[in-house]
Homo-oligomer: A and B are copies of this chain.
Amino acid sequence: MKAEIIAVGTELLLGQITNTNARFISGRLAEAGIDVYYHTVVGDNPERLSQSIKLAQQRADILIFSGGLGPTKDDLTKQTIAHELGCELVSNEEAMKTIEEYFDHVGKVMTENNKQQALVLKGSTVLPNRNGMAPGIAIGKADKQYILLPGPPHEMEPMFEHEAIPYLLGVYGKQDIISSKVLKLQGIGESELEVRLQSLLEKQTNPTIAPLASPGMVKLRITAKAKTEEEAQKLISPVEQEIRAIVGEFIYGVDDDTLASKTTELLLQNDWSISAAESLTSGMFMAELGSQPGIGNALKGGVVVYNKEMKIEQLGILSSLLDFHGVVSSECAEAMAESIKERCSTTIGISLTGAAGPEPHDGQPPGTVWIGIAIEGMKTASYKLQLSGSRNTNRMRSVQFALHYLIQMMREKKELKY
């Protein structure tokens, strides 16, 4: 079963709004086991909309439209589809009542053009609108299904979820479902990952494995097609195990996990407290961790020491150390981590110092970053990064790498503990 999503609206073509409806509808269709091969966006123009309908009829079984059901002159979706299908438009009593009730409720007089919203294709199934006046429409013609949805996401989304999907499952009977599990990796590039998994990637058909890169991080999506969610999981889990056997050390979480959420989880589980001393990231690390609910029980705080003097005054780093090794050095990073751990009396002290760029800093090329991690009962460690992004990409990636190394050391500490 193939579907095509046609969003109607000139504001989309002018770049005034983003077509988030296509994403929502696609996600739900995937879950329902219905393939989507194309998204189309077309303006409020009957000729071009007609062309798009004819084209979609050739390449899809299900045509899903969003937008153009409203009361204004440029809302022409219904009229154009009715014309294409040779269907009449008739006023729907239920819909008309909803509209009249709305105007009573807000105490306004209903203008004529609002009646247009109650028009539906003759013989169609009306999809009630929980959050607006224009109803949705579903109709089957010559072995194609047509679903018309309103444009505003808060009207479209519940309608699609609760009315359109059940309608389609009713028409086609239950399809195979598509289920995905996303593995989140840190510390390995997309291309290196693909090389390591090559043989696995090649032989996979169901489930499939797709690497997805996003700034400072790589994801692997395992997607299975099956009759039930349980079967899908049965297909996914052995493949996940194979992947973990090859690149397990880089996998820090799944699906909605983030490095910050995993870090927070580990801190709270083990009742560990943390403090940070930041130079190039000037607070980004603490801000990122601070975004996690409940972190207040673990994150005590820390300092931002942007220049050399501050490192000496606020952290008591020896100026001799800074003169000898420089502020962008393993020694400085470890001293910063140990000092902040001491001063805030926390289980863990972490530090970031480096050259964010674009200029070199203290003799180090832009993108050179040292991360120091001091953990109670463990040897203080430091990690060097050599980044190549813009100033702010480098700062963001430094925070992600710091969380990555922190998670690794916390896992080690757990081993030691138990």
Tell me whether A191 and B39 are in contact (CB under 8 A).
no
Q: Which of A71-79, A88-96, A168-176, A227-235 contacts B (4 or more CB under 8 A)?
A: A71-79
Which residues of chain A in 8-36 are interfacial with respect to chain B, using CB atoms and an 8 Å cutoff? Answer: 10-20, 22-30, 36
A214 surroundings in chain B (CB, below 8 A): 152
**Nearest Cβ on chain B to A334's Cβ, whole angstroms:** 19
Task: Count residues on chain A whose CB falls below 8 Å from chain B CBs.
Answer: 108
Which residues of chain A in 61-107 are interfacial with respect to chain B, using CB atoms and an 8 Å cutoff? Answer: 70-74, 102, 105-107
The yes or no answer to A211 lying at the interface (CB within 8 A) is yes
Tell me whether B299 and A282 are in contact (CB under 8 A).
yes
A154 and B215 in contact, given A26-B14, A73-B194 (Cβ under 8 angstroms): yes
Tell me whether B290 and A306 are in contact (CB under 8 A).
yes
Tell me whether A15 and B23 are in contact (CB under 8 A).
yes
Rounded to whole angstroms, the CA-CA distance of A10 and B208 in the bound complex is 12
Counting every copy of the chain, the complex holds: 2
The yes or no answer to A374 lying at the interface (CB within 8 A) is no
Rounded to whole angstroms, the CA-CA distance of A251 and B284 in the bound complex is 28
**Nearest Cβ on chain B to A151's Cβ, whole angstroms:** 9
Rounded to whole angstroms, the CA-CA distance of A41 and B36 in the bound complex is 10
Tell me whether B389 and A131 are in contact (CB under 8 A).
yes
Q: Which residue of B lies closest to A345 (CB)?
A: B313
The yes or no answer to A258 lying at the interface (CB within 8 A) is no
Rounded to whole angstroms, the CA-CA distance of A72 and B304 in the bound complex is 40
**Nearest Cβ on chain B to A267's Cβ, whole angstroms:** 13
The yes or no answer to A375 lying at the interface (CB within 8 A) is no
The 3 lowest CB-CB distance pairs between A and B, nearest first, are: A283-B283, A15-B27, A282-B290
